[in-house]
Structure 1
Amino acid sequence: MDHEQAFVLLPGYLDQELSLSESLEFERHLADCERCQRAYAQQREVSMQLKQADLRVDAPADLARRIKAALPGQPSRWQRLVERFGWRSGGGSWNWAPVGAMAMSVVALTWSVGLYLSVPSSETRLTDELVNSHIRSLQFDHLSDVISTDKHTVKPWFDGKLDYAPPVVDLAQQGYPLIGGRLDYLDGRPVAVMVYRYKLHPINLYVWPGNDAGATPRIGERQGYHFVHWSANGMNYWAITDAGDAELNGFIADLRAHPAS
């Protein structure tokens, strides 16, 4: 995939309208292309900012007064009612065209409001990204780029591939052995993924810099997968697995109790 193809697919990827194969092809290009990563981050930021309520600016009082003074005199309520519903004073008949136009305007406004309210929040979009990434790693047998149970092998593997050093914790004694790590793309940037296992259940742990998730872990469920996210020591953590919430709670407790995390 070249830049031109990636730019064409970018809006559809942001809106989660691409097929699975298109998404995978786009993400492969995105992982190795700084130019497209910047374009993706910029468009994602613009999309998030447009949803913020503080974009509205109240007009200065003086400007409002001058605009109001420049307007023609206000008609009476009866005149406004007659004009709105199209009464023709000469022929004494109704003109139904304005009524139809008004009805169409109401329908259009209702549809626009519904469309705006249906736009997912940034956290919902991030959760969708997480679940899709987890499913892809299972479907395409791509859990790990580096396969190792040794944190001293997994942690150095990320050197030079990311602009930060992710903490890598060994939890084998607690029943959650480390089995490897990989690079992925989440929240508009490359991220580190440490892969653990509970019995036959893989656990993907995504880690990247930031303090957006809050200090207290919040557990949820989507499409049969349990996920949780929190922040600590300047890092965001998201974990997801098909194991039960009790097993995920145990993993979180052991991970957070480790001094390296």
Structure 2
Amino acid sequence: MTGDPCQEMQLLIQADIDGELQAAEAARVAAHLESCPACAGLQGRLIALSGSLRAGIPRHQAPAHLRAAVRRQLARPGTARRPGTWARPFGSAAMGALAAALLVFAVLPDGAWNGAGREPMADWVVAAHIRALQPDHLLDVVSAEQHTVKPWFAGRLPFAPPVRDLAAQGFPLAGARLDQLPGGATAALVYKRRQHVINLFVRPAAAEEDPAETAGSREGYNFLHWTAGEMSFWVASDLNARELAEFAALWR
């Protein structure tokens, strides 16, 4: 590896756009982009190119049996990614790339390629939730104490995400991690409800962000969005919509 950080970032930016980086790597890329206009410009061009290609390519949904097979493979023990790799158990880099492509087919709903009639951020949030469920991806800090989780973000994010303890209401805090959504690094707070995982993504609200509350589902995963103060909140889970709404109401 050369001493030029931009050369390294150019190798990582595309992987970041494709969602192939672990949270720590994605956060490092985001930090570099904030201080490097050249790399930020490259990211913008790659995102625009990716969007143009996807808009022009007809979407063919993978057959149900193929989607199920990919999910079974990803759920097998030992399929955790290591830094810089994707699906090593598939046997080769080419098979790993194929697995990543099939996972996109498996988790993105019809219309997600061109965004017609869809909320694009909701697709990203649900995809981030599913990615986090892979082995060794869910938690960077394991703690049920809000006074442990909140300080953990200090120095790792340019903002201080609020953290709440909802254990008494039946939604215990499990910990947190750094994650990445379009626009930059994001705090991901992880809660539990029985055997269900709840990912709450928190970051400052963008100036152009629609403050209206949003609710819906993607591929069996429910999501909610709201803003409070200057913060934006997205929550995703396979928990039923009623209880997820209860969680959001408690948070608000």
Bin the TM-score by the shorter chain: 0.5 to 0.7
Match among 117, 139, 142 for residue 137 of structure 2: 142
Work out whether residues 40 and 188 of structure 1, in 8 Å CA contact, stay in contact via their aligned partners in 2.
Answer: no
Report Cα offsets for 1:109-144 as digits up to 9, x if no partner.
Answer: xx97x99xx633797432222122111111123221
Tell me by how many angstroms 1:174 deviates. Answer: 1.1
**Aligned-partner SS, 1:248:** helix
Identical-residue share of aligned pairs (%): 37
Q: Paired residue for 1:230, among 206, 215, 226? A: 226
Letter in 2 for 1:164: F
**Match for 1:247: what amino acid?**
E
Q: Indicate the larger mover: 128-137 or 191-200.
A: 128-137
Partner Cα separation in structure 2 for residue 41 and residue 243 of structure 1: 39
Q: Is the 8 A contact 2:24 2:178 kept in 1?
A: no
Change in CA separation of 1:224 and 1:237 when aligned onto 2, cut-off 3 Å: same
Q: Distance in 1 between matches of 2:154 and 2:130?
A: 26
Deviation at 1:223, TM superposition (A): 1.5
Residue 243 (structure 2) aligned to one of 228, 244, 247? 247
Q: CA offset at residue 224 of structure 1? A: 1.1
Letter in 1 for 2:175: G
Give the deviation of 1:43 after TM superposition. 3.8
Residues 143, 176 of structure 1: CA spacing in aligned structure 2 closer, same or farther, 3 A cutoff? same
TM-score normalised by structure 2 residue count: 0.62
Closer, same or farther: CA 207–253 of 1 in aligned 2, 3 Å: same
Deviates more, 1:149-158 or 1:2-11: 2-11
Counterpart for residue 151 of structure 1 = 146
Query: Equivalent residue of 1:152, what SS?
Result: helix
Do structure 1's residue 194 and structure 2's residue 197 form an aligned pair? no
Contact 1:207 1:235 in 2 (8 A): yes
Match runs of 1:151-230 below 5 Å:
151-210=146-205, 213-230=209-226
3-state SS of paired residue (1:154): helix
Unaligned stretches of 5+ in structure 1? 52-110, 257-261
> Which of 107, 122, 127 lines up with 2:122 in the alignment?
127
When you count helix as a share of all residues, which structure comes out higher? 1
Q: In 2, Cα distance between the equivalents of 1:26 and 1:149?
A: 23
Look up the SS of the partner of 1:159 in the other structure.
coil
Q: Is the 8 A contact 1:197 1:203 kept in 2?
A: yes
Aligned pairs, number: 186
Q: CA RMSD in A?
A: 3.4
Q: Does the aligned pair in 2 maintain the 1:203–1:239 contact within 8 Å?
A: yes
Which whole-Å CA distance do the structure 1 matches of 2:122 and 2:41 have between them? Answer: 17
Over alpha carbons, which structure has the higher Rg? 1
Q: CA, structure 1 residues 4+128, in 2 after alignment: closer, same or farther (shift >3 Å)?
A: farther
**What is the Cα deviation at residue 161 of structure 1?**
0.9
Amino acid at match of 1:244: N
Contact 1:151 1:169 (8 Å CA) reproduced: yes
- Distance change (3 Å), C-alpha of 1:151 and 1:123: farther
**Cα distance in structure 2, aligned partners of 1:26 and 1:122:** 30
Query: Which residue identity is paired with 2:141?
Result: V
Q: Which ranges in structure 2 are unaligned for 5 or more consecutive residues? A: 60-112
Q: Is the 8 A contact 1:213 1:231 kept in 2?
A: no
Residue number in structure 2 paired with 1:29: 25
